[in-house]
């Protein structure tokens, strides 16, 4: 099964309408994204909980790393640089953190709030090499922006 981003976007918008709690939004999104595509082996959020530190948030799949410093791994690189990390082969990524030995490729997208601050990263792992595309990154970024970059009051 391959994700239909138009449908996923509408589903997430409908499920999260009016919700302002970031953790509730992340939990709902992790579930919907994870179950939308067979390539997605682990799907979740790492939240910025203190300067230069990510801690595990809502996710689907096996357990993840509990704490990731901005200085390490694919998630840390996304949080540190503010840029999406599309990694076709995690073994070739310097400093990759192997939270699960089955991970072969990874897509990590910074999550920004309404003022542009990075509040988390969305991490999607696949047990397949080169599983993700720029289309995946762009579509998921648009969904994240529509959910988190709006003014949450």
User: What residue ranges define each of the domains in the chain, with the CATH number in brackets?
Assistant: 5-148 (3.30.450.40)
User: pLDDT tens across 65-74, in order?
Assistant: 999 999 999 9
pLDDT of residue 48: 98
Ranges under pLDDT 50 in the chain: 153
Per-residue exposure over 33-59, b if at least 16 CB sit within 10 Å of its own CB, e if not: bbebbebbbbbbbbbbeeeebbebbbb
At 4 the pLDDT is: 97
What is the reported pLDDT for 151? Answer: 58
Residue 108 has what pLDDT? 98
Residue-level pLDDT at 61: 95
pTM beyond 0.85: the answer is yes
């Amino acid at each position: 099964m391959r994700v239909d981003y138009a449908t996923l976007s509408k589903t997430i918008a409908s499920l999260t309408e009016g919700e302002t709690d970031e953790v509730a939004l992340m939990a709902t999104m992790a579930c919907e994204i994870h179950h939308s595509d067979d390539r997605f082996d682990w799907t979740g959020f790492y939240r910025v909980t203190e300067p230069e530190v990510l801690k595990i948030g809502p996710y689907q799949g096996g357990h993840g790393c509990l704490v990731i410093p901005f200085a390490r791994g694919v998630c840390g690189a996304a949080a540190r640089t503010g840029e999406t990390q599309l990694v076709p082969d995690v073994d070739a990524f310097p400093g990759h953190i192997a939270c699960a030995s089955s991970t072969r490729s990874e897509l990590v997208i910074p999550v920004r709030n309404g003022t542009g601050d990075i509040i988390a990263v969305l991490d999607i792992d696949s047990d397949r090499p080169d599983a993700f595309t720029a289309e995946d990154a762009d579509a998921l970024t648009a969904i994240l922006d529509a959910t988190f970059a709006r003014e949450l009051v």
